[in-house]
A and B are shown apart, each in its own frame.
Chain A
Amino acid sequence: DSGVTQTPKHLITATGQRVTLRCSPRSGDLSVYWYQQSLDQGLQFLIQYYNGEERAKGNILERFSAQQFPDLHSELNLSSLELGDSALYFCASSAQGANGNTIYFGEGSWLTVV
Chain B
Amino acid sequence: AQRVTQPEKLLSVFKGAPVELKCNYSYSGSPELFWYVQYSRQRLQLLLRHISRESIKGFTADLNKGETSFHLKKPFAQEEDSAMYYCALSGNTGFQKLVFGTGTRLLVSP
Q: Measuring CB to CB, which residues of chain A are less than 8 angstroms from any residue of chain B?
A: 2, 4, 33, 35, 42-43, 45, 48, 50, 55-56, 58, 88, 90, 92, 96-100, 102-108
Contacts and interface: CB of A to CB of B under 8 A. Distances in A.
Nearest to A50: B95
A45 B49 contact: no
A55 B93 CA distance: 14
Nearest to A6: B43
Interface string B87-99: 0001111111111
The majority secondary structure among interface residues of chain B is: loop
Contact of B98 (A4, A45, A107): A45
Contacts of B99: 45
Nearest first, the 9 A-B pairs at minimum CB distance are A98-B90, A97-B95, A99-B96, A98-B96, A43-B100, A42-B102, A105-B44, A98-B98, A56-B97
B106 to A, nearest CB: 16
Contact of A99 (B43, B44, B45, B91): B91
B41 interface: yes
B94 A97 contact: yes
A46 to B, nearest CB: 10
Given A2-B43, A50-B95, A105-B44, A99 B32 contact: yes
Interface in B53-110: 86, 90-103
A45 B44 contact: no
